[in-house]
Each structure stands twice: as structure tokens, then as C-alpha cells.
Amino acid sequence: MNIAIITGASSGLGREFVYLTDHAGVDEIWVLARRRDRLEALKKMVRTPVRIFAGDVTDAMTIDAVREALQVQQPVVRFLIHAAGLGKIGSAGDILPRQIHQMLAVNCEAAVILTELCLPFMVMGCHVAHICSVAAFQPVPYLNVYAATKAFVYRYCRALEMELKPRGIMVTAVCPYWIRDTEFIAVAQETRNSSYFCHFPFAGKERDVAATAFRDICRGRSVSTPGLMAKLDRIVAKCIPAGIMMRLVQLFR
Ligand SMILES: NC(=O)c1ccc[n+]([C@@H]2O[C@H](COP(=O)([O-])OP(=O)(O)OC[C@H]3O[C@@H](n4cnc5c(N)ncnc54)[C@H](OP(=O)(O)O)[C@@H]3O)[C@@H](O)[C@H]2O)c1
């Protein structure tokens, strides 16, 4: 049995990836997120059978449920797409310790733990994809922890890609620019002071970003920068020092 495992499937990019893998020839799609009702609704929207793991991706119980299902079913994990993630806007003191922990746990720790869990069930031609961000390309003041978590995942993906190449397993770091129609920005603004970012110019649409990213994942691209802004950020960040890059980012907020 071939399966896709998609986290963050209750909203935004994760949900779009479920629609896209519905046409990717897998036998089942396993979805993870906390909001069960959203996952139940999603299940009715696709043809491929969906198995729901409703829970916090940082909770050992959720991870254990996936581990047990993998051991019982012994599937081939064709796609692991970790789209669960969150950011919080603010300076020092604006973001609660619990929110900082959540960013580190969901964006970084869960990314590694899920990958480790799935790799024994992957063969040549399988895909690992982590949703990073253009925030991985330079430090971002007032999104400092978030940007650092994305830099972590980006570096993790790049190294893993080289390690897994001999096994024919492809790893993609997906690095989008702002997206306007997911829940991400609203969640990021739930801090003591989120006024540092008021404008999200040239923000993309979740459907377009997910479609481009999924195409790149299927092609085995090591880095996916869906949209012109993401591509520009990657190129410019490679060419100019981080200090200047951070000042440029300030112009956009
Ligand atoms: N939107 C942007 O501007 C943007 C730009 C660059 C990168 N990204 C990245 O893209 C990824 C997807 O974000 P999105 O824009 O699609 O945002 P979104 O609409 O807020 O989706 C986030 C998903 O993550 C899930 N999630 C969050 N915390 C979780 C937890 N503890 N356990 C399980 N699931 C959890 C949420 O589901 P539940 O709430 O149901 O658990 C939701 O399905 C994130 O990694 C984000 O950093 C977003």
C-alpha cells in the first residue's frame, strides 16, 4: 500500500496538498491536525481514502498513533509533507513562552521526529517535503524565533537531501513568501504586539503556492520557491549581506 502523510491538513497549504495528492496515485492519505471536524470535512472532499490522526503533532500520543499504524500496515510512504507550522509576530516580551515553545516544537522538533518515523517506510522515488519559508534565507526582526525555526528546517532539509540521494529518496525545502488566504497571518498576529508587520505586499494565494510547490516536490527539486517574490528573496539573500537584507525586509512591513 502506498500512502501520503500530510500534516497541517485542516487548513491552508496542508489542505491544498491533500487535494493535490488525491491525484498522485496513492492508496491512502493520512492526515494530521488538531481540528478533527476540519479533517472529517476534508475526507468527504477527496476520492482517495483518508485516515485521520486528530491531535497535536507535538504530542507523543499523536506520534505514537502514527507509529503504530505504520508498524501494523507496513505501507510505503510515497509522500511525507510537513505543512503544520506557525509563526508569531513580536519583539522580545511580546510573545508568550508557551507560544515560543510551540513554534520550536511544531516547526522544528515535529519536522525531524516525523521524518525519522517515516524514513524506514520510504523507498526509491519517495518524497519528503517540509514547508519552510523565505524567512529561512535571512534573519527577520520581529519574526526572530519564527525565522530561526525556518532556517533550522531549511538546513535540515538540505543536508538530508544529500544523505538520502543514494537511496533515491527526494527531499524538498518549500520556501514560500507571504500567503494571503491561509490562517497563518491571523495566527501570527495573536501576540501582545503584532503591529510590526501591518502590510503583506504581493502576498500569494494558497492554491497557486501549493500547486507550484507540489510540482517541485514531485520533480524532486531540493528547494521550491513558489512565486516571483520567493525566487527574488532567495537570489537577493544569496548576493547581499544579512544586515542589508534585514533592512530591505523592514521596507516591506
Ligand atoms: N501563510 C504564509 O504567509 C506562509 C509563508 C511562508 C511559509 N508558511 C509556512 O507554511 C506552513 C503552512 O502554513 P499555512 O499558511 O497553510 O497556515 P495555516 O492555514 O495556519 O495552517 C497551519 C496548519 O498547521 C496545523 N497546526 C498548527 N499547529 C499544530 C499542532 N500543534 N499540531 C498539529 N497541527 C498543527 C493547523 O491545524 P490545527 O490548527 O487544526 O491543528 C493548520 O492545519 C507553515 O509551516 C508556515 O510556516 C506560511
The pLDDT score that the predictor gives to residue 199 is: 85
The pLDDT score that the predictor gives to residue 252 is: 75
CA dist 212 → 198, 204, 218 (Å): 27, 11, 10
The pLDDT score that the predictor gives to residue 248 is: 85
The pLDDT score that the predictor gives to residue 19 is: 98
The pLDDT score that the predictor gives to residue 250 is: 83
Digit-coded pLDDT (tens) for 137-168: 999 999 999 999 999 999 999 999 999 999 99
In this predicted structure, the answer to whether residue 114 has a pLDDT above a threshold of 90 is yes
Digit-coded pLDDT (tens) for 4-14: 999 999 999 99
Task: Kindly tell me the burial class for residue 213, based on how many C-beta atoms sit within 10 Å of its own C-beta (0-12, 13-18, 19 or more).
Answer: buried
The pLDDT score that the predictor gives to residue 167 is: 97
What is the spatial distance between Cα 88 and Cα 102, in angstroms, rounded to a whole number? 10
Nearest CA to ligand 1 atom 46: 85
Question: Distance, CA 134 to ligand 1 centroid (Å)?
Answer: 15
The pLDDT score that the predictor gives to residue 115 is: 98
What is the spatial distance between Cα 186 and Cα 206, in angstroms, rounded to a whole number? 14
In degrees, rounded to 5, the angle at the alpha carbon of residue 68 between the alpha carbons of residues 103 and 14 is 40
Is residue 110 lining ligand 1, measured as CB closer than 6 Å? no
State the average pLDDT over residues 162-183.
Answer: 97
In this predicted structure, the answer to whether residue 236 has a pLDDT above a threshold of 90 is yes
State the average pLDDT over residues 20-44.
Answer: 98
Place of cell 491533500: 18
The pLDDT score that the predictor gives to residue 140 is: 95
In this predicted structure, the answer to whether residue 55 has a pLDDT above a threshold of 80 is yes
Percent of the chain that is helix, strand, coil (3-state, to 5): 50, 15, 35
Look at residue 232 and give its three-state secondary structure.
Answer: helix
- Asked whether the whole model's pTM tops 0.85, one would answer yes
Ligand 1 atom nearest 11 alpha carbon: 43
Question: Distance, CA 250 to ligand 1 centroid (Å)?
Answer: 24
Question: Distance, CA 166 to ligand 1 centroid (Å)?
Answer: 31
Is residue 109 lining ligand 1, measured as CB closer than 6 Å? no
Question: Distance, CA 112 to ligand 1 centroid (Å)?
Answer: 16
Is residue 184 lining ligand 1, measured as CB closer than 6 Å? yes
In this predicted structure, the answer to whether residue 68 has a pLDDT above a threshold of 90 is yes
pLDDT, averaged across the chain: 96
Q: What is the 8-class DSSP label of residue 109?
A: I
Digit-coded pLDDT (tens) for 197-216: 888 999 999 999 999 999 99
Query: Which homologous superfamily is 2-251 in?
Result: NAD(P)-binding Rossmann-like Domain (3.40.50.720)
Look at residue 29 and give its three-state secondary structure.
Answer: strand
Is residue 58 lining ligand 1, measured as CB closer than 6 Å? yes
Q: What is the 8-class DSSP label of residue 185?
A: H
Is residue 140 lining ligand 1, measured as CB closer than 6 Å? no
How far is C-alpha 123 from the chain's CA centre? 22
Pocket-testing residue among 11, 20, 98, 149, ligand 1, by greatest number of atoms within 8 A of Cβ? 11
Question: Distance, CA 174 to ligand 1 centroid (Å)?
Answer: 13
